[in-house]
Structure 1
Amino acid sequence: MLKDLGQVGLWLSEQGLDAADLDEGRLKQHLSDLRKSGRCRVAGPRGMVPLLTFLREAGVVPVPRVTPSPAEDLLERYRWWMESERGLSASTMLRYGNTARRFLTEQAMADGEFAPYGLTGADLNAFLLRECSRVSAGSAKGRVAELRSLMRFLHLHGVIPMKLGGAVPPVGGWRFASVPPTMATGDVQRLMDHTPRQGTVGVRDYAILMLVARLGLRSIEVARLLLNDVDWRCGEIVVRGKGRREDRLPLPVPADVGEALVAYLSGARPRLDARHVFLTCRAPHGPIRADLVGDVVERACLRAGSPKVGPHRLRHALAADMLRNGAGLTAIGQVLRHQDLATTALYAKVDFIALRAVAQPWPGTEAA
């Protein structure tokens, strides 16, 4: 990359240009000139993006002024409304904003012009039908909530004359209609055993797996964990969960979770002032994103030769294991930090051995 920067500087001098004259168009011309000169290995436009971004952040190259389109302006107002009026978290605003952008792009264009004022209930139905064909029932329900939020915003700000929020149809998906997928205790342990405990990445990934498998933490809760959330004297950990809730969980005995955290914090974690527990291993170092937890679990599955699962499957496996060992639904709900005990009751369906004991035989047949 330093060599690329040097070549750009020489090209600018040959063209009689200053660094401030550099932009995407001139970079493409520079790359084209390199190919014409016979260079075999020339970076593409995407390879020059970090260089141009650095120069702009350093103030060497001016940032171009981009006039937002009507759609982008409306989306920015929607984002501000979600943050200031609704108090939504950054991740929720990102999800709602992505759905709003996709919906407006697909349904609010008329003859190439942005026309959200002409939206109808048929547009909502058409969008949801497409979404339901490619996502799960749970995700489709999320689309309903996201569309209703967008319709409420558009009506309150006079973009559409009618309250179309009520025209968003519900998605069929009944609670307790399915059995939560779980894993056997041995399969979870196999993931642990096949995770290396050496090296920066291995030690970090093992600590993440321990938090997910032993404490049932969600991906976002692992990413949000701060250094002062671990109370070593009391043997507790503060979990920042859904809905801005904060719960305290005891570190389990034996202290395998605590030992995994100590191994990461004492030797593998980058020496930075960041307060988040888990940081990226490659520069630029910073807090991990929630989706990295899924990558950690996926890599563990590949090493163990097991079917690919997500981190939430380990959370289900923890609940099922507690149930098999005699824990009540109230205790399981406290560990998983469910607000409603009815959510925890779903796990009562996974203990098939206990259910066989109370199942009544079909009339006229003997019990299996």
Structure 2
Amino acid sequence: MVKPKSKVVRVRVGGPLASHQPALASILAERGYTPLTRVNHFQVMAHLSQWLAVRGFGVADLTSDRVDEYLTQRQADGYSAFCSRGSIRSLLEVLCSAGAPVTGPDPAPVSAADELLAGYDRFLRHERGLVASTTTAYVLRARRFLDGYGHGAVLHGLDTAAITAAVLREAGTGSAGSAQFFVVALRSFLRYCHLTGLIGTDMSGAALPVTGRRRSVLPRGLTSKQARALLSTCDRRTARGRRDYAVIVLLLRLGLRSREVAALQLEDIDWRAGQIAIHGKGHREDRLPLPADVGQAIAGYLRHGRPNDGPYRDVFLRSLAPQRGLSREAVALIVRRAGIRAGLGSFGPHRLRHTVATDMVAAGIGLGPIGQVLRHSDASSTSIYARVDIEQLRAIARPLHDGGVR
């Protein structure tokens, strides 16, 4: 049975917000909202405009508190949709541009510790080239250290005892892995404080490593049959299916990280030269050959799946509004969903990166070339694949008289 379509195709907004409807229409269209979804946003705009008119308010009277009051009243009236700030974000952006003070009061003055951490954040992003997720994790642990130290940004009296106490506190409240990461972040923060002159000497060495048993897990890749099953779950008759297929082919063939797929821009693909530019860790850029099947998958999505009427230069876009480039989390979700559909279970993009490496090991390729393909900056990152070929390890093992191995 065909689901009936809404007959509502046009909403006329009256009252104090009437003149701002074209601006909202423009921003909704730019972000990829469908005509029917735009109707829903216009209905909310008309409802808010009526609410303001009844109370004798104009756009300039729409403060942050009045937005909260309206949303509370809307929910009390029985509405279940568009009852949060996030759901009317586009409308609030339009009204804010028109002079409505909807952003709330000025933020409280930041403390010296906040300024220190903000500078550390900028240092990690711009000088070290760390991605946002890693930067956030480092800053969070630096804040935890400052809170435990208790002297804010005044660090000239910092000594090794205080650093050791911070590490012991962390080791006593979480896992060994969590404490180890805390030490890594703390050393980075202490080096930054020395570089900026807050600490006279580099005290990063005072953050001693935390020991802990770690399971030695062999990297697991997919078999050829599993890889084909994963790709077959993408319905290439749809725009989303073409996009997901191209994303998974990129991960399987080039061993990219999820953030590298998400960062791809249209200008990164040189179709004439058959190359693709990859933006990796630490602002590193590598130009790789573009395999024919990868190029065909991306071209199929660009021609028949990707919206081309927006300002975005990302290769891969969201399939639902608001239209914007995929995040690394969205790339991971594409892989997880495909794995579940294929009956392979839930796993992330790194499993596909392992697939590239394990296939190269099986083909007899050395660790050096594997590290180059995966763009490892440290050979130790590639060394884990030396343990992949179990059959070769068994052949090396010396048999004992009782049938065991030495």
Q: TM-score range by the shorter chain?
A: 0.7 to 0.9
Q: Is the Cα contact below 8 Å between 2:167 and 2:183 reproduced in 1?
A: no
1:73 aligns with 2:115: yes
**Equivalent runs, 1:27-176 vs 2, <5 Å:** 27-34=67-74, 39-41=77-79, 43-46=82-85, 50=89, 51-61=91-101, 63=103, 64-70=105-111, 71-83=113-125, 86-91=127-132, 92-104=134-146, 107=148, 120-121=162-163, 122-132=165-175, 137=177, 141-154=180-193, 165-172=204-211
The separation in 2 between residues aligned to 1:198 and 1:9, in whole angstroms, is 42
Q: Is the Cα contact below 8 Å between 2:130 and 2:281 reproduced in 1?
A: no
Q: Is the Cα contact below 8 Å between 2:251 and 2:353 reproduced in 1?
A: yes
Residues 21 and 165 of structure 1: CA distance in aligned 2, closer, same or farther (over 3 Å): farther
The answer to which structure, 1 or 2, has the higher relative contact order (CA under 8 A, 6+ apart) is 2
Which residue type is aligned with residue 248 of structure 2? L
1:281 aligns with 2:319: yes
CA displacement at 1:342 relative to structure 2: 4.2
The separation in 1 between residues aligned to 2:195 and 2:375, in whole angstroms, is 35
Residues 153 and 327 of structure 1: CA distance in aligned 2, closer, same or farther (over 3 Å): closer
**Equivalent runs, 1:5-20 vs 2, <5 Å:** 5-20=45-60
Three-state SS of the structure 2 residue aligned to 1:222 is helix
Residues 141 and 207 of structure 1: CA distance in aligned 2, closer, same or farther (over 3 Å): farther
Q: Is the Cα contact below 8 Å between 1:185 and 1:321 reproduced in 2?
A: no
Three-state SS of the structure 2 residue aligned to 1:169 is coil
Which residue type is aligned with residue 360 of structure 1? R
Q: Is the Cα contact below 8 Å between 1:203 and 1:260 reproduced in 2?
A: yes
The separation in 2 between residues aligned to 1:184 and 1:4, in whole angstroms, is 51
Partner residue of 2:65? 25
Three-state SS of the structure 2 residue aligned to 1:259 is helix
1:313 to 345, 348, 351: 351
Partner residue of 1:331? 369
Partner residue of 1:233? 272
Q: Is the Cα contact below 8 Å between 1:231 and 1:237 reproduced in 2?
A: yes
The percent of aligned pairs where both chains have the same amino acid is: 39
The separation in 1 between residues aligned to 2:144 and 2:313, in whole angstroms, is 35
For structure 1, list consecutive stretches of 5 or more residues without a partner in the other structure: none
For structure 2, list consecutive stretches of 5 or more residues without a partner in the other structure: 1-40
What is the RMSD computed on CA atoms of the aligned residues?
A: 3.3
Residues 299 and 26 of structure 1: CA distance in aligned 2, closer, same or farther (over 3 Å): same
Which residue type is aligned with residue 226 of structure 1? Q
TM-score, normalised by the number of residues in structure 2: 0.75
1:211 to 250, 253, 258: 250
CA displacement at 1:199 relative to structure 2: 1.5
Q: Is the Cα contact below 8 Å between 2:59 and 2:99 reproduced in 1?
A: no
Three-state SS of the structure 2 residue aligned to 1:237 is strand
Partner residue of 1:2? 42
Deviations 1:13-60 (A, max 9, x none): 232333222233222323444566xx2225534456514344224543
Three-state SS of the structure 1 residue aligned to 2:108 is coil
The separation in 2 between residues aligned to 1:335 and 1:160, in whole angstroms, is 41
Q: Is the Cα contact below 8 Å between 1:109 and 1:115 reproduced in 2?
A: no
CA displacement at 1:83 relative to structure 2: 5.0
Q: Is the Cα contact below 8 Å between 1:116 and 1:160 reproduced in 2?
A: no
1:183 aligns with 2:183: no
Residues 161 and 7 of structure 1: CA distance in aligned 2, closer, same or farther (over 3 Å): farther
TM-score, normalised by the number of residues in structure 1: 0.82
The separation in 2 between residues aligned to 1:238 and 1:303, in whole angstroms, is 31
Which residue type is aligned with residue 132 of structure 1? S
CA displacement at 1:306 relative to structure 2: 1.5
Deviations 1:71-109 (A, max 9, x none): 43333233344456x34345243343343345545x356
The separation in 2 between residues aligned to 1:155 and 1:339, in whole angstroms, is 26
**Equivalent runs, 1:246-257 vs 2, <5 Å:** 246-252=285-291, 255-257=292-294
Segment of structure 1 superposing worse, 305-314 or 18-27: 18-27
CA displacement at 1:228 relative to structure 2: 3.0
Three-state SS of the structure 1 residue aligned to 2:226 is helix
CA displacement at 1:258 relative to structure 2: 1.7
Residues 80 and 321 of structure 1: CA distance in aligned 2, closer, same or farther (over 3 Å): closer
Three-state SS of the structure 2 residue aligned to 1:127 is helix
The separation in 2 between residues aligned to 1:58 and 1:130, in whole angstroms, is 50
The separation in 2 between residues aligned to 1:202 and 1:160, in whole angstroms, is 54
The separation in 2 between residues aligned to 1:273 and 1:46, in whole angstroms, is 25
